[in-house]
Amino acid sequence: MRKLFLLRGAPGSGKSSFISRHHLQPYTISQDEIRLLFRNLTYSFDEPSQQLHHIITQEANAETRELVDRLVEGKMARGETVIVDGTHVAPGSIERYQPLADKYHYELFVVDLMEHNTLEGLLSRNEVRVQYHWVKPDVIKKMYDWYEESPTVPEGVISITPNAMDSALAQRERNLFKYNNVYAIPDQVTATNFPGVHISNFYFSFNDDFSRKFGSYRNVINLAKTDAELIAEYKLPFFVFKFHNKHFLISAKPLRNELIGPIKKEKGVWTYSTGLVNILDFMKDFPPNEKQNVHQFNLSNMRRDQVLKIW
């Protein structure tokens, strides 16, 4: 939820193949595709090979950057997962997204496709790239040098390998084994009926008054019950957890199995493939599945004026 991914790699490093392999085209903003909206292909003559290449011009870089920023921020304002297909080899091209990540409460990831790429390999693959994907060799050399000068990402940014993408998109359950009790506070519970908040217990709040009073506590999770709370107040649409060796999900509305995707078990921890779902879809009134893949607690079927003790 609320994740921004920047692909990092010089031309020929495998970014397009990565997007295709993970079926990420519908979620990706491609800088090259944006450039083509501003300028048609142009021809470039390569002296060493004595060949004429049809290429994407770099003349529209400023306009491309401006439109990409607008598109990225528009998606982030709606809480959508965003993937930006660009080179991002210079640290500054990554840092420019950090203010947006802070503004919209996003995790900022860099998918590094350069780790096992050599300059020779990049140049070799470039020579056999089809259609308009050929890039001037001196551009590739420059990008490779920029990466070699600063291979690490800025502080606060999460660098992952391509193989870790599925894991980064997943939602891991939290094990609440150390707590004695788990409570849910529906929206119509009055302050006089609030449970005593103690470090030995864990609380899920749909209640505005309870959240204002205790929402900053580490053992309190504030859950959204409306679209506005989800988007403007950055509350969570759902939470998955394990308690007394049982697996649970809590949310305002029942979540269909299709929304939480295939559930995988890794080292005893369940992970849910929710990373590409628009968060507003978690707030829709879809009819629940006849058989749910995980036991759910939903505000829509709780008694709204009574504290629920989950265990």
* pLDDT tens-digit series, residues 141-169: 999 999 999 999 999 999 999 999 999 99
CB atoms within 10 A of CB 56: 21
- In the chain, the domains with their CATH numbers are 3-169 (3.40.50.300), 171-309 (no CATH)
186, 308 contact by CB (below 8 A): yes
DSSP secondary-structure letter at 25? G
Tell me the per-residue pLDDT of 95-119, one tens digit each, with 9 for 90 and over: 999 999 999 999 999 999 998 899 9
**Six-digit token string for 117:** 């790429």
Average pLDDT, the chain: 94
pLDDT at 210 over 80: yes
179, 201 contact by CB (below 8 A): yes
Q: Is 278 helix (H, G, I), strand (E, B) or coil?
A: coil
Strand pairing class (269-272; 238-243): unpaired
Residue 55 confidence (pLDDT): 80
170, 271 contact by CB (below 8 A): yes
